[in-house]
Structure 1
Amino acid sequence: MLPVPEGLDGLRLDVALSRLLGFSRTVAAELIDAGHVSLDDDAVARSAKVHAGSWLQIRMPEPAQPAAPTPVDGLTVLYDDDDVVVVDKPVGVASHPSPGWTGPTVIGGLAAMGYRISTSGAAERQGVVHRLDAGTTGAMAVAKSERAYTALKRAFKERTVDKRYSALVQGHPDPTSGTIDAPIDRHPGADYKFAVVAGGRPSITHYATEEAFRAATLLDVHLETGRTHQIRVHMAAVRHPCVGDLTYGADPVLAKRLGLTRQWLHARALAFAHPATGLELRVDAPLPVDLQHALDLLRAES
């Protein structure tokens, strides 16, 4: 049991817990959602405000026993050497294990394929230098050596990694090319998603039109920052959500017509300085079948 200090007065519970114990905010939120945190003996949501003098009760769960490595259908290796492996992550696969997720993961899939991963990072995220949403496909890099983990984490933090996405969005953005510079944080009314929020973390998305259809536009997207759900949140904020992204306001009728059961969003390329050689390494990921099918339908209609 810990008292809430004056310096945390008025903060959200997940933010306060993160600062008090040195956890990431994601880990703090997962503990709260799992019922391991109470405030003055009451169970509260992660968005609840804490006040100085209140008491936090935290029950740390027993460490999960590592699951046996499980093969992941559709997980393919795009590039591999002694330092880094880049995979083409399929839909429905999380980047790494986390509380509440019982589905397949990239880390588990690589282990099942016999890959040795860097031991740096939190136990459940060893080797993970960036992440993709479970519903987003495409190129994802994982560090195999300790030097690669250190170098790639720094590269992502310093924004020297070129992250390119293809996004099919509803309507026609105006201007056809531009930059969305808007801070992102958890949605104030729905903890499971994010939103443009004053005082949120700085977030910058560059986009350019590649192809326009009657009801949608194919964009080339370059991320300057890497916030959770960034492209999805930014495009929804300018009223052009990713096609099929029902969480962020996409039209379910259009999604059904195109045969989509998730957002049309694909990490199509990664480029970064190789941790060992310093030379640029670029890896491209082809469009998966469901996204290509939706695109073909739109082209046939045009």
Structure 2
Amino acid sequence: MPIENIEPVISGERLDKTVAQALNLSRSRIKELLEDDRILVNGSVEKPSYQVQEEDQIQVDLPEAEEVEILPEPMDLDIVYEDQDLVVVNKPKGLVVHPAPGHHTGTLVNGLLAHCQDLSGINGKLRPGIVHRIDKDTSGLLIICKNDHSHREIAKQLQDKTCHREYVALVHHPFDHDHGTINAPIGRDEKDRQKMAVTAKNSKSAITHFRVLKNYKDYALVSCLLETGRTHQIRVHMQYIGHPVVGDPKYGYRKTMDTQGQLLHAARIEFIHPSTREKITLDAPLDPIFAKVIEQLDKE
């Protein structure tokens, strides 16, 4: 992957604008690179609004360009809500949200393109309509935007923390308290770039509020409310406090029950409709595998 080194010309210019002008890239592309920690200033991750200085060393890690065509694929989607602006789906465990290099079929986006062709284009060709994501093996609610207006509105609510996302997770070990807040910055794991970690280096603030729904002998069912939306946030934070998510292949215990991935579910989402300004609250039942595990634990 080519590395581009940029020398700032104007002190006080925004980082995203400086890189966009230097490399002739769109602001949306710059946003993707920043979110993927591919733009470093003096070796550190900075916000798009960071004001560059002439002595700054800016390094951009550009992935190899890949021309792809994302094709519609008929798919049985669990649609919880839909109108002219939005589609909200209950994504099943095991389904990848959007195509990525080397993986262009069988994703939620492929299914969405077969369901409706009018998806927002702000996030580029590989991520039409996608304004936020959940992991492949995390089930639950996801907002898909049909036009750029709704995309900007929902993205702003996510940024302003007025779009509320509540998750349910089964974690190892019962708690001796009924609620808490985890305020710990998350960044790339220095030892394993495929993982995230609580770290002070090249990290972003991350806040998760949780409450205990039920304690079991060896587990706890918890509800997690995200104040920020970092990659793998709940999984990393729960591991950090000694309660890793059950079945998590990256951050959990190696020997655990067979759950086909982490028992983590986006159960509720609450937002203001981008056009009607109506408050929308949606809920989704647990994934069948998750529900079966809880049913078994309740019988013990």
Q: TM-score range by the shorter chain?
A: 0.7 to 0.9
Counting only pairs closer than 5 Å after superposition, residues 58-97 of structure 1 correspond to structure 2 as 60-64=64-68, 66-73=69-76, 75-97=77-99
Listed as ranges, the gaps of 5+ residues in structure 1 are 8-17, 30-51
TM-score normalized by the length of structure 2: 0.80
Identity %: 34
Change in 2 beyond 3 A, CA 1:102/1:274: same
Cα distance in 1 for residues equivalent to 2:61 and 2:130: 30
C-alpha displacement of 1:113: 1.9
The answer to whether the Cα contact below 8 Å between 1:148 and 1:276 also exists between their aligned partners in 2 is: yes
Residue type of the alignment partner of 1:290: I
Aligned to 1:24, which of 28, 33, 37?
Answer: 33
Cα distance in 2 for residues equivalent to 1:97 and 1:121: 12
State the superposition RMSD in angstroms. 2.7
Cα distance in 2 for residues equivalent to 1:93 and 1:241: 22
The answer to whether the Cα contact below 8 Å between 2:71 and 2:105 also exists between their aligned partners in 1 is: no
Deviations 1:185-234 (CA, angstroms, capped at 9, x unpaired)? 11111111100011410000000000111110000110000011000000
1:249 paired residue number: 252
1:11 paired residue number: none
Cα distance in 2 for residues equivalent to 1:202 and 1:217: 26
Deviations 1:9-65 (CA, angstroms, capped at 9, x unpaired)? xxxxxxxxx898535146676xxxxxxxxxxxxxxxxxxxxxx99x9996842421x
2:5 paired residue number: 4
2:272 paired residue number: 273
1:37 paired residue number: none
Residue type of the alignment partner of 2:299: A
C-alpha displacement of 1:147: 1.5
Listed as ranges, the gaps of 5+ residues in structure 2 are 9-18, 24-29, 39-55
Residue type of the alignment partner of 2:5: V
1:15 paired residue number: none
Confirm whether residue 143 of structure 1 aligns to residue 142 of structure 2: no
Deviations 1:112-157 (CA, angstroms, capped at 9, x unpaired)? 1235212333221222111010110000001112221110111111
TM-score normalized by the length of structure 1: 0.79
User: How many residues in Structure 1 have an aligned counterpart in Structure 2?
Assistant: 263
2:48 paired residue number: none
The answer to whether the Cα contact below 8 Å between 1:183 and 1:196 also exists between their aligned partners in 2 is: yes
Counting only pairs closer than 5 Å after superposition, residues 259-270 of structure 1 correspond to structure 2 as 260-270=259-269
Confirm whether residue 236 of structure 1 aligns to residue 239 of structure 2: yes
Cα distance in 1 for residues equivalent to 2:213 and 2:60: 51
C-alpha displacement of 1:6: 7.2
1:38 paired residue number: none
Counting only pairs closer than 5 Å after superposition, residues 1-302 of structure 1 correspond to structure 2 as 4=5, 22=30, 24-25=33-34, 60-64=64-68, 66-73=69-76, 75-199=77-201, 200-252=203-255, 254-256=256-258, 260-301=259-300
Secondary structure class of the residue paired with 1:123:
coil
Cα distance in 1 for residues equivalent to 2:253 and 2:91: 23
Change in 2 beyond 3 A, CA 1:80/1:59: closer
